[in-house]
């Protein structure tokens, strides 16, 4: 196998062989695309550039699309004006993991559809294939639900704590996606072979929903769309049957708007303080014979997953849903088909192991080791970042995807990983881009490229050719690379 310096692609393809000569043309180039059933893997592709033409082969349209993205990178580097000069090359490629995601927190920071589309396009260039759309949290509810108009009238708006007297809030503090916006974004993603997974965070992180419908909380409120950040005690009342009517309306809306197989139902950071003091929640615990308040969350998770299953959807949950899950009863046992998204510090990675021991699929997003892209990417206190911790480009390149001690069978349950951008302290789109890149390039590489071909020094060299592609797309990125 001969690698060539000239083919500076991100992510690194599995096989690259430089050919003789080059291909020149006036844009756009003519590309022969062929469906070849003998190519193994839905996303795999072959790309050949010869002096007399360009060919992309794959066994599916998705594979053809990935071949086009690699060609797009080559053209971005090899084009001057309307002329392009490409080195002859033969590339065979396929991904390491089927789940290569990025997450935008559109509750704390309401991104306009235009920005989301821009990011989807950049992610497609990097062969990422999952967009995790965080659509509800304490600080804002971002989509309409049939029969619950106050989610928009009340839950999608928050006051600006810095400018409380400003009549019109900044666009990133308040807003919602219309059904047409959502359909448009889902279609735009589908054209780029990106699966959209909506997240509605339950039963915690629900202040915006409670502000709209206070009867769904344990105390009855009043509640406000939060301007504080952190973990709030007020969550959905597990003893009130009305929450299931509400959630059924939410799920049926999501099922109608999102054709993909998954809905993320959160499950993180749900304190049981209110449940412990609430007569309805205590009565529920008694009726179910539960000894721990946390078991109420297991019961809710199991019910939510069953409700989703009726809509043909599978639940994705943050890893907290596994806490104390060894004390399951018939009513509280977690369904066997939920996917766990691990987010906590890599040093305390027990839930990651717990998930695979229970045979549950796992997606890795360890916060402090390369996945949480709202962390500063350098130790410079003057650098941008919305969290006091730092997670460097190298951390993203070395994101731990397997927990030490996992068996080969358990490793097969690891579906991939994600870069997550939480939005608490992001107040403009350029800030978001600066935090996403180039760390998302590093994540894209390790999620796509076979481990044996990963090499951080080589990645850094190729990045020097790759960053001008981000310039071409008008994407801001951090230039201070720190080990």
Classify 250 as helix, strand or coil.
helix
Using alpha carbons only, give the angle 332, 333, 334 rounded to the nearest 5 degrees: 110
Nearer to Zn ion among residue 236 and residue 302 (C-beta): 236
Min dist. Cβ of residue 204 to Zn ion (A): 13
Nearer to Zn ion among residue 278 and residue 355 (C-beta): 278
**Does residue 203 touch Zn ion according to CB under 5 A?**
no
d(CA 449, CA 86): 23
Q: Scanning residues 117 to 146, which ones bind Zn ion (CB under 5 A)?
A: none
* Spatial CA neighbour of 420 closest among 461, 369, 359, 478: 369
**Does residue 281 touch Zn ion according to CB under 5 A?**
yes
| Count, residues near Zn ion per rule CB under 5 A | 6
Cβ count near 80 (within 10 Å) = 7
User: Does residue 134 carry a catalytic annotation?
Assistant: no
**Does residue 278 touch Zn ion according to CB under 5 A?**
yes
Tell me the torsion sign for CA atoms 234, 236, 238, 239: positive
Part of the chain binding Zn ion (CB under 5 A), chosen from 92-100, 229-237, 398-406, 421-429? 229-237
Catalytic residue among 36, 121, 233, 269: 269
Question: 233 is written with which tokens?
Answer: 């005690």
Min dist. Cβ of residue 237 to Zn ion (A): 3
Min dist. Cβ of residue 278 to Zn ion (A): 3
**Cβ contact 290:299 at 8 Å:** yes
Nearer to Zn ion among residue 234 and residue 445 (C-beta): 234
Nearer to Zn ion among residue 272 and residue 449 (C-beta): 272
Part of the chain binding Zn ion (CB under 5 A), chosen from 215-223, 308-316, 352-360, 380-388? 215-223
Nearer to Zn ion among residue 174 and residue 207 (C-beta): 207
Nearer to Zn ion among residue 210 and residue 414 (C-beta): 210
**Cβ contact 198:134 at 8 Å:** no
Q: Scanning residues 251 to 270, which ones bind Zn ion (CB under 5 A)?
A: none
Question: What does the chain come to in residues?
Answer: 483
The one among 192, 280, 282, 387 contacting Zn ion by CB under 5 A: 280
Min dist. Cβ of residue 427 to Zn ion (A): 35
Part of the chain binding Zn ion (CB under 5 A), chosen from 65-73, 131-139, 230-238, 359-367? 230-238
Nearer to Zn ion among residue 266 and residue 370 (C-beta): 266
Count of CA atoms in the C-beta half-sphere (13 A) of 271: 11
User: Does residue 205 carry a catalytic annotation?
Assistant: yes
Nearer to Zn ion among residue 302 and residue 426 (C-beta): 302
Cβ count near 408 (within 10 Å) = 7
Min dist. Cβ of residue 116 to Zn ion (A): 35
**Cβ contact 135:111 at 8 Å:** no
d(CA 43, CA 447): 13
The one among 204, 239, 266, 419 contacting Zn ion by CB under 5 A: 239
**Cβ contact 235:271 at 8 Å:** yes
Helices (H), 199-293: 207-212, 242-257, 273-277, 279-288
Collect all residues with Cβ–Cβ distance below 8 Å to 41 and sequence separation of at least 6.
Answer: 59, 63, 94, 95
Catalytic residue among 205, 264, 369, 466: 205
Part of the chain binding Zn ion (CB under 5 A), chosen from 173-181, 237-245, 402-410, 450-458? 237-245
DSSP string spanning 419-444?
Answer: EEE--TT--SHHHHHHHHTTHHHHHH
What are the E-state strand segments in 207-338? 262-266, 314-318
Binding mask 400-429 for Zn ion (x = CB under 5 A): ------------------------------
Residues pairing with 136 in the sheet:
141
Phi, psi at residue 463, to the nearest 5°?
A: -60, -30
**Does residue 237 touch Zn ion according to CB under 5 A?**
yes
Part of the chain binding Zn ion (CB under 5 A), chosen from 149-157, 234-242, 255-263, 425-433? 234-242
Q: How far is CA 259 from CA 85, 246, 303, in A?
A: 40, 21, 21
Part of the chain binding Zn ion (CB under 5 A), chosen from 114-122, 277-285, 286-294, 330-338? 277-285
Stated as kind and residue range, the H or E segment containing 130 is: strand 130-134
Catalytic residue among 43, 105, 137, 319: 137
Binding mask 162-201 for Zn ion (x = CB under 5 A): ----------------------------------------
User: Does residue 137 carry a catalytic annotation?
Assistant: yes
Min dist. Cβ of residue 283 to Zn ion (A): 9
d(CA 101, CA 339): 14
Cβ count near 409 (within 10 Å) = 9
Which residues are known to be catalytic? 137, 205, 269
Q: Which residues bind Zn ion (CB under 5 A)?
A: 218, 237, 239, 278, 280-281
């Amino acid at each position: 196998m001969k690698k060539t310096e000239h083919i500076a692609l991100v992510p690194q393809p599995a096989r690259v062989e430089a050919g003789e000569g080059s291909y020149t043309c006036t844009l756009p180039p003519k590309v022969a695309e062929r469906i070849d059933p003998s190519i193994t893997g839905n996303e795999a592709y072959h790309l050949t550039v010869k002096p007399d033409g360009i060919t992309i082969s794959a066994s599916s349209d998705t594979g053809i699309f990935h071949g086009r993205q690699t060609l797009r990178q080559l053209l971005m580097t090899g084009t001057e004006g309307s002329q392009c000069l490409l080195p002859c090359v033969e590339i065979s490629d396929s991904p390491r993991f089927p789940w290569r995601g990025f997450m935008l927190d559109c509750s704390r920071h309401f991104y306009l559809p235009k920005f989301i589309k821009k990011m989807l396009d950049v992610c497609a260039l990097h062969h990422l294939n999952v967009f995790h759309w965080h659509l509800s949290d304490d600080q804002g509810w971002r989509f309409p639900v049939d029969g619950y108009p106050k989610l928009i009238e009340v839950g999608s708006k928050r006051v600006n704590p810095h400018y409380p007297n400003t009549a019109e809030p900044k666009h990133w503090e308040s807003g919602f996606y219309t059904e047409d916006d959502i359909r448009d974004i889902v279609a735009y993603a589908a054209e780029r072979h990106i699966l959209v997974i909506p997240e509605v965070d339950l039963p915690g992180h629900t202040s915006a929903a409670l502000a709209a419908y206070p009867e769904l909380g344990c105390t009855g409120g009043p509640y406000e769309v939060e301007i504080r950040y952190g973990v709030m005690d007020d969550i959905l009342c597990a003893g009130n049957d009305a929450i299931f009517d509400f959630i059924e309306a939410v799920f049926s809306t999501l099922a109608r708007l999102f054709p993909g197989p998954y809905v993320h139902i959160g499950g993180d950071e749900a304190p049981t303080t209110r449940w412990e003091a609430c007569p309805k929640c205590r009565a529920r615990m008694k009726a179910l014979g539960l000894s721990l308040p946390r078991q109420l969350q297991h019961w809710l998770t199991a019910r939510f997953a069953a409700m989703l299953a009726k809509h043909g959807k599978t639940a994705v949950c943050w890893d907290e849903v596994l806490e104390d899950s060894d004390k399951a009863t018939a009513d509280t046992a977690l369904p066997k088909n939920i996917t766990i998204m691990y987010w906590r510090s890599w040093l305390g990675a027990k839930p990651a192991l717990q998930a695979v021991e229970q045979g549950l699929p796992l997606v890795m997003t360890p916060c402090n080791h390369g996945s949480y892209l709202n962390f500063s990417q350098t130790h410079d206190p003057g650098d941008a970042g919305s969290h006091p911790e730092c997670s460097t480009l190298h951390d993203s390149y070395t994101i731990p995807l397997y927990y030490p001690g996992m068996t080969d069978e358990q490793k097969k349950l690891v579906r991939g990983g994600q870069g997550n951008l939480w939005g608490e302290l992001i107040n403009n789109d350029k800030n978001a881009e600066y935090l996403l890149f180039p760390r998302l390039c590093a994540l894209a590489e390790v999620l796509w490229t076979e481990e044996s071909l990963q090499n951080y020094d080589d990645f850094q060299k190729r990045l020097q050719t790759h960053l001008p592609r981000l310039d071409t797309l008008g994407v801001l990125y951090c230039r201070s690379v720190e080990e």
